[in-house]
Structure 1
Amino acid sequence: MEKTLTIDGREVRFKSTAATPLRYKAQFGKDYFSEILKMESLANVKQGKVSSKDIQKIDFEIFYNIIWVLAKTADRNIKEPMEWLDGFDEFPLMEIIPELQDLIIASLQTKKK
């Protein structure tokens, strides 16, 4: 599954494949699926019920890492995470995540025949 978003005035491709979780583990040393499940704290944000307690539970580094690995899967030539992110003057995280939600969920779901 693949998607292209415009971030800071440039087109950025994102892709999820069977190798995405392995690429995530190789880069960050953490399990991709466990990290995604940690993002469950955002369920309240989506429903408009946000408390400071909810915000404190969210590790925003996970979002940046997942976004990077999806971009890296689409384009193997992108730079390391910090250097890649430094290339953006604006990076509206809370607008990007919902746009990539389908890619993230697709990696967790199975297809029934």
Structure 2
Amino acid sequence: MEKTIVISDKEVRFKTTGGSAIRYKAQFGRDFFADVAKLSSLEKLTKIDDEDFKPEDIEGVDFTFFYNIAWVFAKTADKDIPDLLSWLDSFDEFPIIELIPDLQELITSTLKTKKK
């Protein structure tokens, strides 16, 4: 799956492939699927803009995962992306909360099968 998202006035391509989980492990030394499983509920994160949102709704969520996975998906789409910190520093803003629904869609595409 491929998706282009505008971040800080830049179009950024994100792509998932069969190698995305391996790229994640090679870069961060962590198992992608185990880290996804640790996310108790991505639904909590979609409530952040709601009036009913409370800070404890996101207690225990490791946002580093989302920065890491955003980089992996961007690197998969564009091999010239620099290391994670250099890439993040290239943006004036990187609104990770706003990106989570798009990242969630990409994550889900790596977990689903098209087999019938």
| TM-score (structure 1 length as normaliser) | 0.90
- Bigger Cα displacement from structure 2, 49-58 vs 72-81: 49-58
Where does structure 1 lack aligned partners over 5 or more consecutive residues?
none
Secondary structure of the structure 2 residue equivalent to 1:53: helix
Secondary structure of the structure 2 residue equivalent to 1:57: coil
- Deviation by residue 1:2-60 (Cα, 9 ceiling, x = unmatched): 00011111110000000000000000000011112223343223355644333221111
Aligned pairs, how many? 113
Runs of 4+ in 1 over 6 A off after TM superposition: none
Quote the RMSD (CA, aligned, Å).
1.6
Deviation at 1:106, TM superposition (A): 0.7
What does residue 100 of structure 1 align with?
103
What does residue 10 of structure 2 align with?
10
What does residue 37 of structure 1 align with?
37
What does residue 66 of structure 2 align with?
63
| TM-score (structure 2 length as normaliser) | 0.88
Within the candidate set 91, 94, 97, 2:94 is matched to: 91
Q: Percent identity?
A: 52
Where does structure 2 lack aligned partners over 5 or more consecutive residues?
none
1:75 matched to 2:78: yes
- 1:3 and 1:13 in contact (8 A); partners too: yes
Q: Return the letter of the residue paired with 1:95.
A: E
What does residue 28 of structure 1 align with?
28
- 1:41 and 1:54 in contact (8 A); partners too: no
Q: Return the letter of the residue paired with 2:96.
A: L
- 2:14 and 2:74 in contact (8 A); partners too: yes
- 1:42 and 1:58 in contact (8 A); partners too: no
Provide the C-alpha distance between the structure 1 equivalents of 2:56 and 2:41, rounded to a whole number of angstroms.
Answer: 10
Q: 1:100 to 1:45 in 2, by over 3 A?
A: closer
